[in-house]
C-alpha cells in the first residue's frame, strides 16, 4: 500500500472534512459523546484524526479514522482539528478505517457486519481475495480475531432489514438465528418483524432454521410465520426486560454479568423488609 504520512499533524478547517461514505460505525449522541465533547472543549483534540485527500478537489479530505472525534469537535464548536494526512486510495482507506476500529471495546454486531463487508469489497477490488467468502479465505485476510466462517456469518447480517438488525444489536436475537433469518426475503422479514412486535418474542434458533427452509422452498407464508412464532418457548415465558444501560446507571460499580444476581438479592432483601413490616403490623 503506497501511503504518505506527514511527519506531524496539521490543523485543517472542519468544513474541509467529509465523512467516509458508507462507513459502518455508528456515531451516537450519548453520555460517552457528551464526555468526549467536554474533553474537546477543555483540552482540544488530543489524538489527531486521519484523513486522505479527496480526488478531484483542491483542499478537501475524506475522514478515515476519528468520526466520533469529528462529531465531538463539531458539537463543541471547534473550527479546526489536527489531522494526519495519508495519500491513499479509497480501497486502502476502507481497509484502514475498518482495521482502526475493530478492536474497540464496544462494537455492535451490525458495525462488525458492515465493516467486514466494506473490507471484503476493498480487498476484492484490489484482487487480494476471492469474490465469495468461504473456506479459502484465511482468517487474517479480513479479521485477526474471527475465523473465515465467522466473518461470513457476520457479513450475512447485512442482508437483514434494519429493524431486525437493531434487535441483534440489542441482544434480543442472537447471531446464529439472525444468520438463518438473513436468508428470508425482505417481505418475509417484515412479516416476521410484525409478529415479533405483536407477540413480544423473538425466534429461537430452531424456529429460524425452519423459517429459512420454508422460505427457500417457497412455502413460507404470513400465516406460517404467525403459527410458528406462537409456539411457546420455555426461555421466553413471562419475560421481563429492563435496558442494561438503565440498570448500570443505578449500579455503576457492577459489571453487566453481576447485575442479575444483584437484582435478585435486592428483591429478596426488600421482600424480607416488607415481611417484617407485616409482622409488626399484625402484633
* Average pLDDT score over residue span 47-52: 91
Given a cut of 90, whether residue 149 has pLDDT beyond it is no
Place of cell 482495521: 99
3-state DSSP call for residue 32? helix
d(CA 149, CA 60): 39
Fold for 1-89, please state it: 3.90.1530
Confidence bin at 28 (pLDDT 50/70/90): confident
* Average pLDDT score over residue span 89-109: 82
* Average pLDDT score over residue span 90-116: 83
* Average pLDDT score over residue span 267-280: 76
Question: Ramachandran region of residue 269, left (φ > 0), alpha (ψ -120 to 50) or beta?
Answer: alpha
pTM: 0.67
Confidence bin at 147 (pLDDT 50/70/90): confident
* Domain assignments of the chain as residue spans, ordered by start: 1-89, 102-159, 161-236, 244-275
Higher-pLDDT residue of 211 and 55 is 211
* Average pLDDT score over residue span 104-120: 85
pLDDT of residue 1: 42
Dihedral sign of CA atoms 141, 147, 148, 150 in order: negative
Least confident range from 17-21, 153-157, 262-266, 279-283: namely 279-283
pLDDT of residue 65: 86
Least confident range from 129-133, 152-156, 160-164: namely 129-133
Given a cut of 90, whether residue 133 has pLDDT beyond it is no
Closest to 180 (Cα-Cα) out of 251, 228, 248, 223 = 228
Given a cut of 50, whether residue 145 has pLDDT beyond it is yes
Higher-pLDDT residue of 223 and 140 is 223
Amino acid at each position: 500500500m503506497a501511503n504518505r504520512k506527514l511527519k506531524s499533524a496539521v490543523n485543517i478547517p472542519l468544513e474541509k472534512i467529509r465523512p467516509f461514505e458508507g462507513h459502518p460505525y455508528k456515531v451516537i449522541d450519548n453520555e460517552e459523546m457528551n464526555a468526549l465533547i467536554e474533553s474537546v472543549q477543555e483540552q482540544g483534540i488530543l489524538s489527531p484524526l486521519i484523513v486522505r485527500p479527496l480526488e478531484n478537489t483542491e483542499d478537501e479530505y475524506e475522514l478515515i479514522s476519528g468520526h466520533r472525534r469529528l462529531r465531538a469537535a463539531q458539537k463543541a464548536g471547534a473550527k479546526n482539528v489536527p489531522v494526519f494526512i495519508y495519500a491513499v486510495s479509497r480501497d486502502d482507506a476502507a481497509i484502514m478505517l475498518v482495521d482502526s476500529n475493530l478492536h474497540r471495546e464496544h462494537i455492535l454486531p451490525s458495525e462488525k457486519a458492515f465493516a467486514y463487508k466494506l473490507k471484503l469489497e476493498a480487498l476484492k477490488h484490489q484482487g487480494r481475495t476471492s469474490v465469495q467468502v468461504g473456506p479459502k479465505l484465511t482468517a487474517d485476510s479480513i479479521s485477526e480475531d474471527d475465523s473465515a466462517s465467522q466473518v461470513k456469518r457476520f457479513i450475512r447480517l447485512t442482508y437483514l432489514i434494519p429493524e431486525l438488525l437493531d434487535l441483534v444489536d440489542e441482544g434480543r436475537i442472537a447471531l446464529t438465528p439472525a444468520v438463518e433469518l438473513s436468508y428470508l426475503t425482505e417481505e418475509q422479514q417484515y412479516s416476521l418483524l410484525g409478529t415479533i412486535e405483536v407477540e413480544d418474542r423473538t425466534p429461537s434458533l430452531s424456529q429460524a432454521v425452519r423459517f429459512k427452509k420454508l422460505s427457500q422452498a417457497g412455502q413460507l407464508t404470513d400465516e406460517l410465520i404467525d403459527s410458528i412464532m406462537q409456539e411457546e418457548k420455555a426461555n421466553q415465558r413471562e419475560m421481563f426486560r429492563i435496558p442494561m444501560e438503565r440498570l448500570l446507571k443505578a449500579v455503576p460499580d457492577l459489571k453487566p454479568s453481576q447485575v442479575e444476581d444483584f437484582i435478585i438479592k435486592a428483591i429478596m432483601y426488600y421482600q424480607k423488609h416488607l415481611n417484617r413490616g407485616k409482622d409488626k403490623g399484625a402484633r
